[in-house]
Amino acid sequence: MKYRKLKIALLSITAVLLSLCTMAQTEITVRLPEPTTSGGMPLMDALRLRESIRSFDTAEISEQQLSDLLWAAFGVSRPEKGLRTAPSARNWQDIDIYVVMSNGWYLYDHTEHALVRKGREDLRTYTGTQSFVATAPVNMVFVSDHSRMGEGVDEATRSFYASNHAGYISQNIYLYCTSEGLATVVRGLIDREKIREVLRLTDNQQVIFAQTVGYPGR
Band the pLDDT of 218: cuts 50, 70, 90: confident
CATH number of 27-214: 3.40.109.10
Q: Which helix (H) or strand (E) holds 76?
A: strand 76-78
Backbone CA torsion sign across 32, 214, 218, 120: positive
Specify whether the CB–CB gap between 56 and 135 falls below 8 A: yes
Q: What is the pLDDT of residues 181-201, one digit of tens each?
A: 999 999 999 999 999 999 999
**What pLDDT does 52 receive?**
98
Angle at 147 between CA 141 and CA 148, to 5 degrees: 85
Angle at 130 between CA 124 and CA 136, to 5 degrees: 45
Q: What is the pLDDT of residues 123-178, one digit of tens each?
A: 999 999 999 999 999 999 999 999 999 888 999 999 999 999 999 999 999 999 99
Backbone angles phi, psi at 84, to 5 degrees: -125, 175
**What pLDDT does 26 receive?**
67
**What pLDDT does 216 receive?**
97
pTM above 0.85, yes or no: yes
Taking every pair of C-alpha atoms in the chain, what is the biggest distance, in angstroms?
Answer: 76
Q: Where are the domains of the chain?
A: 27-214
